[in-house]
Amino acid sequence: MAQAFERFWYATACKQRVEFRSLAAALHYLRLCLNSTLLDTLRAYMRSREVPLPAPYEAAERFFEPPEEAHECWEVIESLLPDQRERRVAYLLFHCGLKPREIVLFCSEEFSEVRDIYRLKRNILERFLRNADRLRW
């Protein structure tokens, strides 16, 4: 209800584009605001909550062949990150652009706590800083 009134107020007070000639017209518009709010809420809940994450390079290879430099860059990163979990976190953070909370949400079987992701991220960044001469971007 609050969102419906918010839409109604925004359209009438903020935009000042809607004028009503009668109370019935205003109530009709308010009902339209309520219906659109309900539809938007239902659409949001109908969307899938889980998005499968591709394995490294799996999604990219389906659409295009990445440039040779991308493979070279990933090889350098793999050489700097001998731990599989660090490689996975680096991929999810830097390639997929996920946030630590999203990684825990989407990969709960691999990572159980957000602080684990932050710890791994800190280790990865420290390792990159120590080996900055090997990374060429």
pLDDT in tens, 69-121: 666 777 777 888 888 888 889 888 887 888 898 888 888 888 889 999 999 99
- pTM, two decimals, is 0.48
- Give strand ranges (E) for the chain: none
Among the listed residues 69, 72, 76, 55, the one whose alpha carbon sits nearest the alpha carbon of residue 128: 76
Considering only CA atoms, which of 12, 11, 87, 99 is closest in space to residue 56? Answer: 87
Q: How far apart are CA 31 and CA 77, in angstroms?
A: 56
Q: How confident is the model at residue 125 (pLDDT cuts 50, 70, 90)?
A: confident
Residue 15 has pLDDT above 80, yes or no: no
Cβ neighbors of 81 (< 8 A, separation 6 or more) are 87, 90, 124, 127
| Confidence at residue 115, expressed as pLDDT on a 0 to 100 scale | 92
Residue 63 has pLDDT above 60, yes or no: no
The residues, ordered by sequence, that sit 6+ positions from 19 with a Cβ below 8 Å of its Cβ are none
Q: At what angle do helices 23-46 and 2-9 cross, to 10 degrees?
A: 120
pLDDT digits (tens, 9 = 90+) for 32-53: 888 888 888 777 776 656 566 6
Average pLDDT over residues 18-42: 83
CA pair distance 99, 94, nearest whole angstrom:
9
